Amino acid sequence: MIHYPYENFYEMLFLITEEKSSKKVIFIEDKSYTYTQFLESVDRLARALELVCVGKGDRVALICPNSAEFVMSVFAVSKLGAVIVPINTMLKNEEYRYILDDCGAKILITASKFAKEVDGLCESVASIEHTIWIDKAPKENTCHLVLDEILTNHLHIHTPSLAKLDDTAVIFYTSGTTGHPKGAMISNRNLFSNFVAARERFDLSTNDRFIVYLPMFHSFTFAIMVVLPFFMRSSLVIVPSILPFSNIIKQTLLKRVTVFMGVPDIYNALIRAKLPWYFLWFNSIRIFVSGGSALSEDTLSKFKATFRRATMLEGYGLSECSPAVAVNPIEKQKTLSVGLPLYGYKVKIVNEEMMELPIGEAGELIVSGDCVMQGYLNNPEATAETIQNGWLRTGDIAKVDEEGYVYIVDRIKDLIISKGINIYPRQIEEQMMLLPSIKLAAVIGVNDPHSGEVPIAFIELEEGYEKTTASEIKGQLKEHLAAFKIPKTITVVESLPKTATGKVLKRVLKQGNY
């Protein structure tokens, strides 16, 4: 039985502040916050949310850049016993509308840089009562509020959080084969299990300093790079944007970062970059952690040769598991393996009948433990398909060696992972077939040296649209899909390969002979 020292994020913050009041917890550009200053900001924001009637169980959506306000929102919502819903900031208006409708968000917290894509959401999504802007509002009315204005002159006091260990803390939206995003409900217990496990696996201490440059809405970044540092009584360095990449290098050196987490695309960029000699000599990094997709053997070997004083640890996870499942231990890493299951978690490799397979044989990876989500919001059918007898079916094909190290072999689902972000072909296909020119579409993922994978499409055109170009189709898709979901290439074919029942044979397309 795992002991959890806190019921929720806010209780954690309050108790740690009593112990580490003057320690700096957040560094962002030329600003910093001590634990005391950060707690005061959280209390003020919680009071502001309370004044607009946010209470226990309410959903507060975040379409927000990497910022101190993002982190404050997470803890303020926890104080009120409400649920935070971090949303991908690269989506389009109609994609946001679906998610906000599905989760029943009461409040949307956002920034002016997203004004175009969030336009009209406050007025068109029935559940949203207010949009709170962390900088400036594009409209002035009772629906749109500016954070600084609602914080002015409001008293705030410490009151215990209403949130319990098994209450839902976060809803991560992750797309599925149906084409619509599904909300994975993650409890405080789920996330704290990840923190306890990460502390043990990474040998973390209060002296560690994390850097946060990947988007905070991502489950990996949210849990392991944003909230875990608080659990460890350590610190985090927030970089508002991944570009310019040179700034990440600069902040890593100047702020003495010790834990650097990223995805393969970042590590490939680090290897290609002409790093100054003083960075290689004077950086404080002791561990690099990679997730999202596998690093190539070439990348791993080059990385070890470049950063000789640090250890690269590959890991594996998914939003439905809060998110980390397995990571290589510091004392022994295996090339191409995602490591051993984290403390308190169990994994099995099973066949289609859910029967466990022998060591070394490939099958579906299933997971059990306190990391397993509560279920999908408003989707009991999908929940029942995914969680069976306490085991979560990942949809990934894997194998385990005699020492228990996990190796990801392939994916059962058609999931495409580009720069650590999940892309689901079905959603793209459905959107493409809404266009009058497209009769049938099939999207697959292909390897890409910069992104890991990118989507490409094969299409059959409707009669009368034979002159339609790929460029025209991409232009039409840009109105409805985030840029990273737009197929890199669109190939027109006379007829897609199909089964006798009309299902497209994607394996034929993936073989590259079509």
For position 199, which CATH number holds? 3.40.50.12780
Long-range contacts from 329-337, C-beta under 8 angstroms, 24+ separation: 329/201, 330/201, 330/202, 330/203, 330/287, 334/401, 334/405, 335/297, 335/300, 336/294, 336/297, 336/407, 337/401, 337/405, 337/406, 337/407
Give per-residue pLDDT as tens, 169-183.
999 998 644 568 999
* 223 occurs within a structural domain: no
Contact call for residues 365 and 398 (beta carbons, < 8 A)? yes
Boundary of a domain, candidates 411, 439, 459:
411
* 438 occurs within a structural domain: yes
* 475 occurs within a structural domain: yes
Q: Tell me the mean pLDDT in the region 476-498.
A: 91
Residue 299 CA, chain-centre distance (Å), reads 23
Based on the fold, state whether residues 289 and 337 are members of the same structural domain.
yes
Residues above pLDDT 90, as percent of the chain: 67
Boundary of a domain, candidates 369, 388, 411:
411
Based on the fold, state whether residues 177 and 195 are members of the same structural domain.
no
Give per-residue pLDDT as tens, 351-374.
989 999 999 998 999 999 999 999
For position 448, which CATH number holds? 3.30.300.30
Does residue 155 carry a pLDDT above 70? Answer: no
Based on the fold, state whether residues 405 and 376 are members of the same structural domain.
yes
Higher-scoring residue by pLDDT: 3, 420? 3
Higher-scoring residue by pLDDT: 188, 180? 188
Based on the fold, state whether residues 43 and 134 are members of the same structural domain.
yes
Give CA–CA dist 59/45, Å, rounded: 15
Side chain identity at 79, as an amino acid letter?
K
Q: How confident is the model at residue 412 (pLDDT cuts 50, 70, 90)?
A: confident
Q: What per-residue confidence (pLDDT) applies to 302? A: 84
Does residue 499 carry a pLDDT above 70? Answer: no
Higher-scoring residue by pLDDT: 42, 449? 42
Boundary of a domain, candidates 346, 377, 411:
411
Based on the fold, state whether residues 489 and 435 are members of the same structural domain.
yes
Q: What per-residue confidence (pLDDT) applies to 268? A: 78
Does residue 318 carry a pLDDT above 50? Answer: yes
Q: What per-residue confidence (pLDDT) applies to 296? A: 72
Q: Which domain holds residue 61?
A: 9-186
Side-chain-facing half-sphere of 362: CA atoms under 13 Å:
10
Most trustworthy range by pLDDT among 182-196, 245-259, 279-293, 304-318? 182-196
Q: Tell me the mean pLDDT in the region 335-343.
A: 93
* 41 occurs within a structural domain: yes
* 1 occurs within a structural domain: no
Q: Which residue has the tokens 């992104």?
A: 451
Q: Helix, strand or coil for residue 423?
A: strand
* 217 occurs within a structural domain: no
Domain count, the chain: 3
Does residue 286 carry a pLDDT above 80? Answer: yes
Q: How confident is the model at residue 217 (pLDDT cuts 50, 70, 90)?
A: very high
Does residue 292 carry a pLDDT above 80? Answer: no
Based on the fold, state whether residues 57 and 182 are members of the same structural domain.
yes
DSSP-assigned letters across all residues of 470-514 = HHHHHHHHTTTS-GGGS-S-EEE-SS--B-TTS-B-HHHHHTT--
Does residue 465 carry a pLDDT above 80? Answer: yes
Does residue 309 carry a pLDDT above 80? Answer: yes
Alpha-carbon dihedral of residues 359, 362, 363, 369, nearest 10 degrees? 50
Does residue 492 carry a pLDDT above 60? Answer: yes
Nearest residue to 263 via CA among 281, 238, 294, 290? 290
Give CA–CA dist 45/145, Å, rounded: 13
DSSP-assigned letters across all residues of 184-208 = EEEEHHHHHHHHHHHHHHHT--TT-
Pairing of strands 235-238, 24-28: parallel
Q: What per-residue confidence (pLDDT) applies to 450? A: 79
> Crossing angle for the helix pair 9-19 and 68-79, nearest 10 degrees?
110
Based on the fold, state whether residues 394 and 446 are members of the same structural domain.
no
What mean pLDDT, rounded, does the chain reach?
91
Q: What per-residue confidence (pLDDT) applies to 376? A: 97
Residue 474 CA, chain-centre distance (Å), reads 26
Based on the fold, state whether residues 103 and 167 are members of the same structural domain.
yes
Contact call for residues 394 and 366 (beta carbons, < 8 A)? yes
Angle at the Cα of 421 from the Cα atoms of 259 and 251, rounded to 5 degrees: 30
Q: Helix, strand or coil for residue 260?
A: strand
Give CA–CA dist 286/281, Å, rounded: 13
Q: Tell me the mean pLDDT in the region 371-378.
A: 97
Higher-scoring residue by pLDDT: 414, 170? 170
Q: What per-residue confidence (pLDDT) applies to 501? A: 44
DSSP-assigned letters across all residues of 217-250 = TSHHIIIIIIIHHHHTT-EEEE-S-S-SHHHHHH
Based on the fold, state whether residues 496 and 445 are members of the same structural domain.
yes
Q: Tell me the mean pLDDT in the region 117-146.
A: 89
Residues above pLDDT 70, as percent of the chain: 96
* 227 occurs within a structural domain: no
* 2 occurs within a structural domain: no
Give CA–CA dist 214/265, Å, rounded: 11
Identify the DSSP state of 355.
Answer: P
Give CA–CA dist 36/29, Å, rounded: 19
Does residue 156 carry a pLDDT above 90? Answer: no
Higher-scoring residue by pLDDT: 294, 220? 220
For position 173, which CATH number holds? 3.40.50.980
Rg of the chain over CA atoms, in angstroms?
Answer: 23
Q: What per-residue confidence (pLDDT) applies to 159? A: 84
Give CA–CA dist 89/62, Å, rounded: 9
Based on the fold, state whether residues 385 and 470 are members of the same structural domain.
no
Does residue 293 carry a pLDDT above 80? Answer: no
Q: Tell me the mean pLDDT in the region 14-39.
A: 96
Does residue 220 carry a pLDDT above 50? Answer: yes
DSSP E strands in 68-147: the ranges are: 83-86, 107-110, 130-133, 144-146
Q: Helix, strand or coil for residue 398?
A: strand
Identify the DSSP state of 319.
Answer: G
Residue 275 CA, chain-centre distance (Å), reads 28
- 366 beta partners: 348, 393
Does residue 307 carry a pLDDT above 80? Answer: yes
Query: 67-98 b/e with 16+ CB inside 10 Å = b?
Result: bbbbbbbbbbbbbbbbbbbbbbbbbbeebbbe
Based on the fold, state whether residues 391 and 422 are members of the same structural domain.
no
Residue 216 CA, chain-centre distance (Å), reads 7
Based on the fold, state whether residues 315 and 396 are members of the same structural domain.
yes
